[in-house]
Structures are given as structure tokens and as C-alpha cells.
Amino acid sequence: MRKPKVVGFLVVDSCEEWALPLRLVHDEGMPESGILSWQDTSRDAVSLFQTRASARAAIQRTHHWGLAVGAPGMWPSRLGCKVVPVRVVPA
């Protein structure tokens, strides 16, 4: 049996007890590509990245932006972020 096809990648902020998929925020003063953030409500969409490299780039961009503005604790830590493949499972 073959592995199901990967359709994209999620960035998940995780700890020992929980894991939360992240979304991209595009506010004024932020990089054009967006910064990773936690969901404000359950209706916020999470971000699905086409490649693992683009997901890793978002993690790095968020880390560097947090350091540049002097508020690294306001954004997800790159150490707690994991890139998780999303697979299509046939019914």
C-alpha cells in the first residue's frame, strides 16, 4: 500500500500537552509575506504551505521579525514550531 499524497504543510506550535496550527498575519508594518501567529478565534483559518521550505521560511521570518521589533515572546517560538505534512486519505 502506498503512502497517501502530501497536499501541503502546516506549521504547528506545540508543547508537551498541546499542539496548535498557526496562521499567517498580514498587518501593516509586518513583512509582506506575513508573520505566523496563533488563532484569535476558532473561525480563523490556518495557513497551508505548498512546500516544507516555505513553511520553514515562515518560521524563520517570524523569529527574525520578533527579534527586530523587540517582542520575541509575542510570537510563536521557532523552537516550538513543527512542520507537519497534510495527506489526502482515501475514504
Tell me which DSSP letter residue 74 carries: G
Q: What is the pLDDT of residue 15?
A: 79
The identity of residue 3, as a single letter, is: K
Q: What distance lies between CA 49 and its chain's CA centroid?
A: 8
Q: What is the pLDDT of residue 7?
A: 92
Q: Mean pLDDT, consecutive 10-residue segments, the chain of 91 residues? A: 86 86 87 86 82 95 87 82 90 71
Q: What is the pLDDT of residue 1?
A: 65
The whole-angstrom separation of Cα 80 and Cα 19 is 9
Q: What is the pLDDT of residue 83?
A: 95
Strands 35-37 and 23-25, by their bridges, are antiparallel
The vertex-66 CA angle with 61 and 67, nearest 5°, equals 100
